A and B are shown apart, each in its own frame.
Chain A
């Protein structure tokens, strides 16, 4: 698929997205709410299909954001899906590990450093913080200083 066809393919799911931006020909930013996270990710990984790269968890003052990064290697396009998690008290989103084993580690990491719960994750244990790291302290949250 060339870039135009890729853009066309992505617009197939535009009803589940709240925004589509393309600041450069090979950089696409999609936004959606947390309810649609699972299905849009599944579409990107299975239907497009694009290669999963990594996910970035961000503490953006009024909500949490998880950006799932995908690479469509035929055109060198990076598709970034921003998922907004509005509930700051008990942030949670559905895990994509069941269909994408590559996401297992990064979801565990985001759980460690930001405290976001991943529903249906097969193995949500501590990954990168020390065994004696205190529970409930999430180092990447903005209010935590060293």
Chain B
């Protein structure tokens, strides 16, 4: 197996991008770090720059203004990288699909940038921390 993928699976460093979220999913992601769920014991770490990341956690619908930024972040993330779409919003714009400022869904924005992007979907509004962890683990196991 490709050693890059192996190291990604072992302890993925994640970078969180908010492209127009209400914050519920963002808070559930941060909840994953707190003592009750504590993903740091699995080696999952939130990093401060996309350049250090193995995986992106994207929340939010993908507003017009944020789409530009999302593409830039994706470009900066070294490949291979997995993009996790956390929540109903990035998976399919959720309740905001009629919004005039919504460019999403996020997989459409990313596929325009890179048709071979590896994308994993974790729906929910917000998905519980257990669901997020389960989604991340399943996606990494499938790699």
Contacts and interface: CB of A to CB of B under 8 A. Distances in A.
Question: Do A and B have CB atoms closer than 8 angstroms in the complex?
Answer: yes
Nearest to B99: A146
Contact of A129 (B68, B98, B99, B101): B101
Interface in A112-146: 129-133, 139, 144, 146
B3 interface: no
The size bracket of the interface on B is under 10
A129 B99 CA distance: 12
Contacts of B100: 139, 144, 146
A144 to B, nearest CB: 8
Contacts of A139: 100-101
Contacts of A131: 65, 68
A112 to B, nearest CB: 11
A139 B99 CA distance: 10
Contacts of B98: 146
Contacts of B64: 130, 132-133
A26 to B, nearest CB: 31
Contacts, number: 17
Nearest to B67: A130
A146 B96 CA distance: 12
B63 interface: yes
A46 B103 CA distance: 43
Q: How extensive is the interface on chain A, given as a class?
A: under 10
Interface in B62-76: 63-65, 68
Of the listed residues A130, A131, A139, the one surrounded by the most CB atoms of chain B closer than 10 A to its CB is: A130
A146 B68 CA distance: 20
B44 to A, nearest CB: 33
A129 B102 CA distance: 11
A92 B99 CA distance: 27
A30 to B, nearest CB: 32
Contacts of A144: 100
B86 to A, nearest CB: 23
Contacts of B101: 129-130, 133, 139
Nearest to A132: B64
A128 to B, nearest CB: 8
Q: Which of A139, A144, A146 is packed against the most chain B CB atoms within 10 Å?
A: A146
Interface string B56-99: 00000001110010000000000000000000000000000011
Contacts of B68: 131-132
Interface of B: 63-65, 68, 98-101
14 contacts: A130-B63, A130-B64, A130-B65, A131-B68, A132-B64, A132-B68, A133-B64, A133-B101, A139-B100, A139-B101, A144-B100, A146-B98, A146-B99, A146-B100
The 7 closest A-B pairs by CB, nearest first: A130-B64, A130-B65, A139-B100, A146-B100, A146-B98, A131-B65, A130-B101
